[in-house]
C-alpha cells in the first residue's frame, strides 16, 4: 500500500509541474519566456515479470529458478531553445525494481530466508542533449547509478550524431562506461571464517562475522548506428556495438559440482571482448501497416555466438489506436567454459554451470495495444497522451519459461 501511495504522489507532482509550466507560458508569451526550459513529456512505465525453470546456477545448474520482479519507472523530459534556435534537452529517470528469487535463496540454504532471496534495485539517471539546428548535429552526455544488495553500478556516456541536410541519413556514435563493484558472496559451505555479508536486516548479515571482500567489474562500450531512409516506405539502420569488460566477471555465489564429487564457486576469465552487429529495417506497407524487423549476430572472446531475428508487424485500427504482434527467435552457441552438473573436471581452469552461457535456442511471442489522443486526452486526463499495454511469453530449449506484462502511460 505504501508503494502505491508513493507512486500516486510522485505522479501527481509531475502532473502538477506540467500544469504549472503551461500556466506560466500562457501568462507570458514573450520571446524570452518561450525559450525557457519546459516539460515536454512524462513517461510512467510499470511491469511485472515472472519466470519458472529448473536449471539454477546457484545450485550448480539444477534447482528452482522461480523469480518474480515488479518494476516502476518514471521518465521526465524537458527542453528549451536558445536565441539562435538550438535545442537543449534534459531528461531524468528513476527506476525501482522489487524482486523475489528462489534460486538466490539457496546461497545460504541453512537460513529460513536468506538476505538475497528478495531485493530492491534503485536506478536513477540524468541525460543532457544539445542539438545544433544550423549544422544538424546533436551532442549528448549522461550519468547513471544503480544499487542493489550485492552490486553498485556507476555509469556515464558521451554521444554525437550528425544528420544530412534532408534528414534522410544519420550517423550516431556513443561511448559509455560502467564502473561497477561486486560484494563477493560465496555459497555458505565455501566461506572462510570469519565472513560477513552486508547487513540488510536478513539473518546472514546479523549472524556472520568478519569482513567481506569487494571486486570491480568495469564495462566499456562504443556503439555506432548508421541509418538511412531508402524511400518513403523503407528505412534501414546498421548497428555495431563494440564492448570490453574486465574485472570480476563471474558470479561467486554460483556453485559448480565436479565429476569427483567436489564443489567450488564459479570461475570465469577476467576479461571479455564482444562485437555484435545488427541490421534494422522498418517497412511501411500502405497507410495502416508497419513491419519492423531486426537481425543481430553476436560474438565474443568467450566463443559465444548468437543469431537473433525478430519481426513486429503493427496494424493501425483507427487514427488513434493500433495493435501489434511480436516474434523473436534466438539461437546460441555456448562457451566451452560451460558444462552441466557433475561434468567439469577438477583440472579445468574456468568453469560454470550457468545455462545462460550454454548452447540453447529460445522463442518469444507477444502483442501490444496502443491508444493515443493528443487533443482530448485519455481516461478523462487531458495531459494523458498515450496508453500502451504489452504482453510477451518467452520459452527456452532448457525449459525456462517467462511472462511479462507492461503498461506505458505518456503525458504531454
Bridge partners, residue 306, by sequence: 298, 332
Three-class HEC string of 355-382 = HHHCCEEEEEEEEEEEEECCCCCECCEC
Reported as a single tens digit per residue, the pLDDT across 242-274 is: 999 999 999 999 999 999 999 999 999 999 999
Reported as a single tens digit per residue, the pLDDT across 171-220 is: 999 999 999 998 888 888 888 776 655 544 333 333 333 446 889 999 99
Inter-residue contact 204 to 111 (CB < 8 Å)? yes
Percent of the chain with pLDDT over 90: 70
- pLDDT of 28 reads 42
Average pLDDT value for residue range 117-124: 86
Cα angle: 243, vertex 245, 248; to 5 degrees = 160
Q: Which has more confidence, 302 or 16?
A: 302
Reported as a single tens digit per residue, the pLDDT across 378-390 is: 888 888 999 999 9
Other C-beta atoms closer than 10 Å to the C-beta of 325 total: 13
Q: What is the set of domains in the chain, with CATH numbers?
A: 2-411 (2.40.160.40)
pTM score of the predicted model:
0.84
SS3 of residue 25 by DSSP: helix
Amino acid at each position: 500500500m505504501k508503494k502505491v501511495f508513493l507512486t500516486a504522489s510522485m505522479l501527481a507532482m509531475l502532473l502538477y509541474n506540467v500544469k504549472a509550466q503551461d500556466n506560466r507560458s500562457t501568462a507570458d508569451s514573450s520571446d524570452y519566456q518561450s525559450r525557457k526550459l519546459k516539460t515536454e513529456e512524462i513517461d510512467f512505465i510499470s511491469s511485472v515479470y515472472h519466470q519458472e525453470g529448473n536449471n539454477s546456477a546457484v545450485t550448480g545448474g539444477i534447482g528452482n529458478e522461480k523469480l518474480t520482479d515488479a518494476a516502476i519507472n518514471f521518465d521526465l523530459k524537458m527542453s528549451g531553445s536558445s536565441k539562435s534556435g538550438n535545442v537543449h534537452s534534459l531528461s531524468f529517470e528513476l527506476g525501482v525494481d522489487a524482486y523475489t528469487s528462489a534460486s538466490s535463496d539457496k546461497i545460504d540454504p541453512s537460513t529460513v530466508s536468506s538476505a538475497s532471496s528478495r531485493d530492491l534495485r534503485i536506478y536513477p539517471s540524468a541525460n543532457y542533449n544539445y542539438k545544433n539546428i544550423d549544422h544538424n548535429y546533436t551532442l549528448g552526455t549522461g550519468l547513471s547509478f544503480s544499487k542493489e544488495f550485492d552490486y553498485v553500478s556507476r555509469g556515464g556516456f558521451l554521444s554525437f550524431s550528425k544528420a544530412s541536410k534532408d534528414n534522410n541519413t544519420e550517423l550516431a556514435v556513443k561511448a559509455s562506461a560502467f564502473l561497477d563493484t561486486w560484494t563477493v558472496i560465496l555459497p555458505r559451505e565455501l566461506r572462510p571464517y570469519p565472513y560477513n555479508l552486508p547487513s540488510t536486516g536478513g539473518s546472514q548479515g546479523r549472524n556472520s562475522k568478519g569482513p567481506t571482500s569487494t571486486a570491480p567489474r568495469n564495462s566499456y562500450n562504443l556503439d555506432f548506428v548508421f541509418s538511412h531512409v531508402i524511400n518513403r516506405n523503407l528505412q534501414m539502420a546498421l548497428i555495431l556495438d563494440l564492448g570490453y569488460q574486465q574485472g570480476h566477471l563471474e558470479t561467486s555465489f554460483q556453485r559448480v559440482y565436479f565429476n569427483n564429487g567436489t564443489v567450488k564457486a564459479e570461475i570465469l576469465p577476467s576479461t571479455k571482448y564482444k562485437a555484435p552487429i545488427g541490421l534494422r529495417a522498418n517497412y511501411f506497407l500502405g497507410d495502416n501497416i508497419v513491419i519492423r524487423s531486426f537481425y543481430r549476430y553476436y560474438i565474443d572472446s568467450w566463443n559465444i555466438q548468437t543469431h537473433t531475428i525478430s519481426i513486429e508487424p503493427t496494424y493501425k485500427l483507427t487514427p488513434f489506436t493500433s495493435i501489434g504482434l511480436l516474434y523473436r527467435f534466438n539461437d546460441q552457441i555456448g562457451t566451452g567454459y560451460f558444462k552441466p552438473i557433475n561434468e567439469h573436471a577438477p583440472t579445468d581452469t574456468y568453469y560454470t554451470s550457468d545455462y545462460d552461457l550454454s548452447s540453447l535456442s529460445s522463442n518469444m511471442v507477444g502483442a501490444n495495444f496502443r491508444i493515443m489522443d493528443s487533443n482530448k486526452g485519455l481516461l478523462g486526463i487531458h495531459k494523458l497522451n498515450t496508453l500502451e499495454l504489452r504482453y510477451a511469453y518467452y520459452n527456452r530449449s532448457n525449459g525456462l519459461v517467462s511472462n511479462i506484462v507492461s503498461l506505458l502511460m505518456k503525458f504531454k
